[in-house]
Amino acid sequence: METRLKLAIQKSGRLHDDSLNLLKDCGIDLKNGINKLKTEADNFPLEVFFLRDDDIPQYVEDSVADIGIVGENVIYEKNKKVTVSEKLGFGKCRLSVAVGRNEPYSGCQFLANKKIATTYPVLVAKYLKEQKVDAEIHEISGSVEIAPGIGLADAIVDLVSSGSTLFMNGLKEVETIMHSEAVLIRQSKLGLAQQQILEKLLFRIRSVRKARHTKYILLNAPNGKLQEIISLLPGMKSPTVLPLAEPGWSSVHSVVNENDFWEIIEKLKEAGEQGILVVPIEKMIL
Ligand code: ATP
Ligand code: MG
């Protein structure tokens, strides 16, 4: 039987769609049946398990799954023997301390002898120890943000992305304990065949992620302006310049990083460029 790499992803929740989209962008088609516990890829030696995110580190440690996609926060909370292979750039959030909006918070000593509600007792205990603060940790399994309002706790530690949940519950964010994003984890004893499949998958993931941050730019320019324009465009090596059918004109092509994109476009406009075409890149093999 053909060797397949077993991947565990979240069954439903914040990481589910982005995990599936990453596989899709890697050109991996899953058989229908996402509502089931597991499915297979049609065109890549991959089997996919759908699980609760909390359980994924354990399944990977026990080799039930070879690899998994999970938030860093869950790995460090569960403290399992798994290796982080790759950061995936989605599911970004932070684990933060929040207190009532009107509390006179002036530093983490505020938390001394207070009750803190959280679903992350291990990370909170570690943080309090580092800060040399003694407090009571109340582990609850969800809806942490309502705990202060109902008198269950004086403070909470929870995941935050925009902060709107905290705001709506009358809380303010006062400390950040850790930053987190989705990562690909692997078990420590992968066989050679599985290792080779993982290398192929990682190669695809890296190509997709590089491409997501880059754009392809095309523009036409009179030859007299070429040097100025080329000096503004980075390109993978250097920009490509092709002659147009109209004498004295050229087409300039280049690859631009998302972070520099608007700045470069503004400079090109200042240099008098108008007809600039920007195209997404699907994959980038370097
Ligand atoms: P499950 O049913 O699988 O246990 P869950 O309710 O524990 O799901 P989700 O809320 O779907 O988990 O979050 C999954 C992961 O998404 C988190 O562990 C975290 O890494 C990431 N995440 C990103 N932004 C946020 C956020 N604002 N709040 C919570 N989690 C976030
Ligand atoms: Mg969970």
Burial of 57 (0-12, 13-18, 19+ CB in 10 A): buried
Name the percent of the chain lying above pLDDT 70.
Answer: 98
Mutate to test the pocket of ligand 1, among 17, 53, 164, 179 (most ligand atoms within 8 A of CB): 53
| Average pLDDT over every residue of 224-228 | 91
| Average pLDDT over every residue of 165-189 | 97
pLDDT reported for residue 123? 98
| Average pLDDT over every residue of 93-106 | 96
The pTM is what? Answer: 0.89
Per-residue model confidence as pLDDT tens digits over 187-221: 998 999 999 999 999 999 999 999 988 999 999 99
Question: Across-strand partners of 185?
Answer: 68, 84
CB 119 less than 6 A from any atom of ligand 1:
no
- C-alpha span between 203 and 214 (Å, rounded): 17
Per-residue model confidence as pLDDT tens digits over 139-148: 999 999 999 9
CB 15 less than 6 A from any atom of ligand 1:
yes
- C-alpha span between 162 and 227 (Å, rounded): 44
- C-alpha span between 262 and 285 (Å, rounded): 24
pLDDT reported for residue 2? 83
Range scoring the smallest mean pLDDT among 39-53, 88-102, 251-265: 251-265
* Ligand 1 atom closest to 161 (CA): 27
- C-alpha span between 271 and 192 (Å, rounded): 55
| pLDDT tops 80 at residue 59 | yes
CB 91 less than 6 A from any atom of ligand 1:
yes
pLDDT reported for residue 110? 96
Among positive and negative, which fits the CA dihedral 135, 140, 145, 151?
negative
Angle, CA 117 vertex, CA 83 and CA 157 arms, to 5°: 50
Mean pLDDT of the chain: 94
CB 154 within 8 A of CB 115: yes
Residue 33: pLDDT band (50, 70, 90) is low
Mutate to test the pocket of ligand 1, among 15, 88, 139 (most ligand atoms within 8 A of CB): 15
Angle, CA 202 vertex, CA 235 and CA 11 arms, to 5°: 120
| pLDDT tops 90 at residue 246 | yes
Residue 236: pLDDT band (50, 70, 90) is low
CB 38 less than 6 A from any atom of ligand 1:
no
| pLDDT tops 90 at residue 154 | yes
